[in-house]
Amino acid sequence: MPSKKPGAKRAAITKAKRAGTPRTATGKKMDAELLQTAQEESHQGFRERTEEGHLAAGRTPPSHIQEKRVSGAKQIVIDDAIRDWRPLVTEDEKLLASPDRGGGIEDFTRTDPWRVMRITSEFVEGIDSLNTVSRGVSVFGSARTHPDDPQYQQAMDVSRLLAEAGFSIITGAGPGIMEAANKGAKAGGGKSIGCNIELPFEQGANPYVDTLVNFRYFFVRKTMFIKYSVAFIIFPGGFGTLDEMFEALTLIQTGKIYQFPVILFGRHYWAGLVRWLQTRVLGERKISAGDLDLMLLTDDPAEAAQAVITAYQAQTRTAEARTESA
């Protein structure tokens, strides 16, 4: 029997959707088992991309290094093939667990108020470690970008140019684009800062970070990126990169930060997203035309660096004017 033509397959999926059958973005029927499998594959892929970035730079990923056996202690070895789902329970997971998934209402009310104190201490530690950072620029992008990738060199170049102009470079401390940015900062004689995050596996920090701050909670870390940055430079990346980009755009749109450039590096990579924002999101009036101008697209490290410098000068003038009128 001949296989169905692509058009027939699409029609079948459309019919199923109309019948009320939930489907994933790839057309698969959604159920609890599929969601669990997708989560496991997503987590494994994220870990593999991070490890690939370290391997590409000629380093053994920290997650591949077994700790030395301590006398009297039992060493747990985790299979590297697929591994148990979520081998490490992170502090973020504990915080975000609802009462009925975290051990019951009694346990929830007993532990979370104390957890707030830990969150507060993490804010204090982050601010204390970064309060000397001036003119910070956060650089985001994929952890799996190889040193021989042109984007790696471009991230190094723009970070070096900014460091030479007196700016500090802040990254997530990992491999790939983050490593390239920290390396460029050191080459330009500037501050190289890494804000690492606790993950279900050991991510480690790249060797070009001078000031390293470790965070347990994503939202504390995200606050530090915004608080100590005057601009974001967004290189091609995945969900984490998109998260940082859209958070900055939301803060600008809602008036929480001002004259804050969000620079998308790599026109070809971002073209599809920008077209969708223009045709669908703007077309349906979910955003305003001016929102699209909050993003600057470029392929030139010098152009990206100059955009940051120009925006910082404007930020300084505006801040001075607000102080005088206060």
Instruction: Give me the pLDDT at residue 89, please.
Output: 74
Question: 0.85 cut: is pTM over it?
Answer: no
Residues in the chain: 326
The SS3 call for residue 279 is helix
Q: What is the per-residue pLDDT across 106-144, written as a single tens digit (0 to 9) for each?
A: 555 557 788 889 899 999 999 999 999 989 999 999 999
What is the residue extent of each domain of the chain?
93-121, 135-325
Give me 70's structure tokens.
């301590």
Q: What is the per-residue pLDDT across 40-86, written as a single tens digit (0 to 9) for each?
A: 776 677 678 778 878 888 888 877 876 544 343 333 333 333 334 34
Matching residue, tokens 């480690």: 204
Check: CB of residue 52 under 8 Å from CB of residue 177: no
Residue 302 has pLDDT above 70, yes or no: yes
Q: How far is C-alpha 288 from the chain's CA centre?
A: 25
Nearest Cα neighbor of 48 from 82, 78, 76, 25 is 82
Q: Note the CATH number of domain 135-325.
A: 3.40.50.450
**What is the rounded CA–CA span in Å between residue 157 and residue 164?**
11
Instruction: State how beta strands 211-215 and 192-197 pair.
Output: parallel
